[in-house]
Every structure is written in C-alpha cells, then in structure tokens.
Structure 1
C-alpha cells in the first residue's frame, strides 16, 4: 500500500498468492494420494483376512466330515473277505474233439412213465364182453389209415347168464388180451384184427386165440409193439421210405466209416461236391470238424454236408 508503484506491488502480491495456492494444492494432492494408498492397503488386508477365515471354515468342515465318518464307521461291522485260491491257467490247452452229428435215438424215453391201464378184461354182470380197453386204446393211439372216419362199433354177442362155461370165459379173455398185445388199440373200435370179419358166434361156439391170430399161438413173453407215429393230416402225399439195404453195392469202397442215407436233397455248389436226392445211399470215408463229410456215392467221390444224412 505504501509502495510507489502500485502496479508492481499488485503483481508481486498475485505471484505470492498463486504460489501459496499451488503449495496448498500440492499438499492436498499428496494427502489424497496417501489416503488412497491407505485404502488399497486396507482392502488388501481385508482380503487376506477373508482368505484366512475361509481356510479356517474349510478346515472346520473337513474336521466335521472326519468326525461324522468315524462315528458312522463305529456303528458298522467290518466285512472280511475270505481268501480264495488264485485261478491258475492250465499248463496245456485241452484237446478239442472234432464235432460230428450224433444220430437221434427216438426210443430213449420209451421205458419212462406207464402205459395204458386196461381194466376191461373182466366179464360184466350182464354176460357181455366189455370192449372199453380196445376203445380207450384206439382213442389214445393214432392209426395210419386212409380215412380218419371212425366206424360204428359192432355189438358183441350176448351170452345168457348161467350158460357161460369156464372154457368160453378163458378163451375170450385170452383173445381180448392177445388182441391188446398185437396192437388192437391202433385199430378202430369196431374193426376186427387185421381186417378179418368175425361173425357173431352162437351160444355154444367158442372162439379160440388160434382162430383170431391166424393159426399161430402167441407166446406169453411177447412184448408190446412200439407206439405208432403221430397222426398226420394227409397220408396220401407221403412217400414210403426205401427198403433197407442189407448188402453193400458193388461200387462201395473197401473201407469206410459208416453207411448213411440222405434225408434232404442237395445240389453241388463246387466241383468236388456230390449231388443227391432223399433216400440216396452214401458211404462216409472221412469226417471233418466243420460238419462236412467225404464219401462215395454211385462210383463218385466228393464232399457233402453231414447234417443232410443219417446213419442207416
């Protein structure tokens, strides 16, 4: 205020004010920087403390899991596995036999079970010969006839009560029993034995088993015939099998494994194979493990499948 040059004094005052404001600004800036650094350090410390707390929480959870598993294990019973012998491989591989088709034996189960029980050989009270056994046997066993129609049964002769002699009853029983043994069950109830017509005999006539069979007496130890094959719907279309061959043909080899008969037709697929029809006779000279056979048929040698033939 006392300066002579007021302009110059004002400029010096403005410079000092600017310098003081700049120093204050610098101090405020340094203070703000220090405060921000303090906040960053505080956040880092908080993150570290949070990590320590989470680690402690994980350790607590692990300890609780261990304690709970230990308590559960104390309530259970330990399972002990028995010691078994170790499976050792065989020192040498077993020898495998070559496959060959075995013939089917259809009479293996013939002796199993029981046959038809016949209680009809006794005389009825009225003096008639009961034919229930023949009828039941005819119903149980199938017949190989040309017609499936069952004829009406023939009424047997009636013998008055009191006039039947011992010889007549004995011969009648033998004839009925022998008729069952010879397979009367396979015939119709009203048909006589082997298609013969048996007329009604008078009271005094006696029919013996010699007359029924045809003049030959049946032995006591005669075994019953085998059961007939199942009934087929149509028998006229079936071809009869060829008659059995007793002697080997001239073209048969000197040595062979077995003699077989073809069951199905086969046409050769290669040059060295044989073609044959059902019923053809073949001689097997060698069998292979894959099911094929080598043999001779009609002076021709070749290969053929083993499942198309059967032993004769």
Structure 2
C-alpha cells in the first residue's frame, strides 16, 4: 500500500504542476493575444502551447496509469502467492485432521494379538528304506538241542536279488 500511495502522490503532484504550467501558459497566451498587433500569430502560438500542454498532460496521465497498473499487477501477484500459501495450509490442515480422525477411529477398535507360529523344525532326512530279508531259521541252530539244516543261510541271501 505504501508503494501505491507514493505512486498516486507523485502522479498527483506531477499533474498539479502540469496544471499550474498550463494556467501560466493560458495567462501568457491571453495577455499576448490582447497586446499583440498580429492576432493571427498569437492564435497560432496559443494553439501550439495548447497542443504541447495537452500532449504533456496525456503523457503524464499515461505514465501514471502504466505505473499504477504495474503496482496493481505486483499486488495481484502478491495476493496470488498468499492465496496459494493459504490453500496449501488448508490442505495440510485437512490432512492432519484426517490423520487425527483415523487415529481416533483406530483407538476405538480392538487390537489384534499377533499369532505366534511355532518355528517349523528343519526337515529331517527320511529314514533309510526298509530292506526285507528272508528269515534265517538256521541262525540259532548251534544253540541248544535244535535240528540242524543242510542249507546255509548265506545261500538264502544270495538267491534273493
């Protein structure tokens, strides 16, 4: 606002000074017209002063308007950046509110007790395959009073492949 008021005050002062200069030129032209012997030249000079004064006034108004528009553009940019910051803060606020609401909902629920699974033991090697052997009835013949066989037990093992 300070920049804008400075621009307006400087433009106002320049316009007031130009208005004072135009009044002085008008007073000079009026006295020149009344005192001049050649009024046609006086009117031409007055027209030149009027054209020059109007051009100066238009230039100053244009400069003031351009400067004022630049200041307004800067203000719009500042407001846009402030609006962007406010919208970001609003989004962050909504995110935080949602997090708090989710925590509140989570506190109302029952927490699960984690299930602990027994560690599976390492896989043991399967036992060796069963080898079926024929029954040797003569293995205990040398003990006690048993009947002795003629077929040896070794030959039984060799026959079975």
Normalised by the size of structure 1, how large is the TM-score? 0.27
Q: Which has the higher contact order (CA 8 A, sep 6+)?
A: 2
Larger fraction in strand: 1
**Structure (1 or 2) with the greater helix fraction:** 2
TM-score, normalising length from structure 2? 0.49
